[in-house]
Amino acid sequence: MKGNYGDAVKIALENINSAGHDKKKDQLLINIGVIQCFQEVNFYEQSEILLAPIVKDFNLVKNKRTYGSAEVYLLHAYNLFALKKYDEATVKLEKALDKIKSADFLILKNKIYSCLAKNYLMLQEKAKHIAYQQKYNDSQNTIDENRSEAIRNIMNLSQGFQTQSYHSYTAKRQQQIYVSLGTAFFIMILIVFFNYQERQKKKMLEKQILFLENQTLQFARKEITTVPPLSITSKKPLWIPKEKEDQLLQKLRDFENSDQFLEKNMSLPLLAAQFETNTKYLSEIIKKFKDKNYNTYINELKINHIAHLISSDLTFGSTK
């Protein structure tokens, strides 16, 4: 089951990266979107497969996309932390911090400090944990102070407008009208721009859903083409009592409505034990009523689950 799913992820990566050089940015966004979906359902090993070429690309060119490089290393560190590879995660985080050490990306640095503190805590390196925890606290305080200062400035600006004298208001009335018109025009441009961005995002998500559906069809076709032709000496189908069939079918429907199929150790023997039956009965029921073997059945459940997550995100975005 794991092997088949790994092959599917590799096929996905090859198809995503098959576009021309002028679509590199779109490829990167698609890759990161798929990685985040995998991480949400705890598919960290599959995320690692997609992360490998991205990290390699950023490592090949020095000083390439300073902010983007740091973000990629941070994303990779999240994945490594979930896989309990704390040493590797700290290396990625230190690289991310080095990329932006001379830049004023305080919020991004704040995230990196937090992750470093957690990793060094897991590695039981108390001194480094305390140092980065302090940096995180200091940067968080700075961020909070900046936000408070911005709010105060806005409030002072508002009060300043309210206390303007009547003569000043009259003199600047015409100027304010021009500013208002310009602002309204600018807002209209922003609305058009964001609508365009949403449409592009919607198209990208639809491509992802279509791709996953095509992968499902490819698996089904491959399964059909690999089944050897029946001979005269083929075994007869296993006979199962009608009552037993109905019980197993109901349990399969309950299983599909749950999220147990996402468990890494879910196998045919384990599922048969949960259903209080044997593997032959369960395999025959899946083959007879689902028209596929157990591995293909489980893989399609997982792929449909990911497609549902992407579709849900698409639906949410379209309602904003």
Separation between Cα atoms, residue 310 and residue 169, nearest integer Å: 52
| 263 found inside a domain | yes
| 173 found inside a domain | no
**pLDDT confidence of residue 72:** 84
**pLDDT confidence of residue 230:** 43
Separation between Cα atoms, residue 90 and residue 84, nearest integer Å: 11
Compute CA distances 205 → 35, 76, 120, 306, whole Å: 13, 22, 37, 12
**pLDDT confidence of residue 62:** 55
**pLDDT confidence of residue 24:** 62
**Tens of pLDDT, residue by residue, the chain (320 residues):** 444 555 555 555 555 555 444 566 666 667 777 777 777 777 877 778 877 777 776 665 555 567 877 888 888 888 889 888 899 889 989 988 888 888 888 999 999 999 999 999 999 999 999 999 999 999 999 999 999 999 999 988 878 777 776 667 777 888 888 888 888 888 888 888 888 888 888 777 777 777 776 766 665 566 545 544 444 344 566 788 889 889 999 999 999 998 888 888 889 999 999 999 999 999 999 999 989 999 999 999 999 888 888 877 766 555 55
Q: Assess whether 107 and 215 both reside in one domain.
A: no
| 192 found inside a domain | no
Q: Assess whether 71 and 144 both reside in one domain.
A: yes
Q: Assess whether 210 and 75 both reside in one domain.
A: no
Domain boundary among 165, 194, 211: 165
Q: Assess whether 13 and 145 both reside in one domain.
A: yes
Q: Assess whether 152 and 274 both reside in one domain.
A: no
Q: Assess whether 15 and 140 both reside in one domain.
A: yes
Q: Assess whether 44 and 100 both reside in one domain.
A: yes
| 176 found inside a domain | no
**pLDDT confidence of residue 113:** 92
**pLDDT confidence of residue 146:** 92
Q: Assess whether 92 and 141 both reside in one domain.
A: yes
**pLDDT confidence of residue 260:** 87
**pLDDT confidence of residue 145:** 93
| 191 found inside a domain | no
> Which residues form the domain of 147?
2-165
| 219 found inside a domain | yes
Residue 146, domain CATH: 1.25.40.10
| 195 found inside a domain | no
| 196 found inside a domain | no
Total structural domains within the chain:
2
Q: Assess whether 269 and 154 both reside in one domain.
A: no
Which amino acid belongs to residue 96? Answer: A
Residue 156 near residue 119, CB atoms below 8 Å: no
Q: Assess whether 127 and 252 both reside in one domain.
A: no
Domain boundary among 146, 165, 184: 165
**pLDDT confidence of residue 29:** 67
Place of tokens 């089904």: 220
Q: Assess whether 155 and 221 both reside in one domain.
A: no
Q: Assess whether 94 and 219 both reside in one domain.
A: no
